[in-house]
Amino acid sequence: NSAEFSARTKAYTLRIIRLVDALPKDEVARTLGHQLLRSGCSVSATYRAANRCKSRADTIALTYYAVVI
């Protein structure tokens, strides 16, 4: 179900944000947290973008770009 998966990806992103916020405030944790935040939030952003595509070819191209890059 599309709505259920959208809600799950949003909840996942919010959990990632809370996790990064709870990390220690040293340089290593800040660096790792920044990368974790970028990769964790990209899941729901890519899913939302794929749902807005106008054609199947656009969806495939976006998904390929998200996986490869």
Residue with tokens 């939030």: 41
- Tell me: the pLDDT tens digits for 5-47? 889 999 999 999 999 999 999 999 999 999 999 999 888 888 8
Label residue 69 by pLDDT band (50, 70, 90).
low
Largest CA distance in the chain: 45
Global pTM?
A: 0.73
Greater model confidence, 24 or 64: 24
| 51 pLDDT above the threshold of 70 | yes
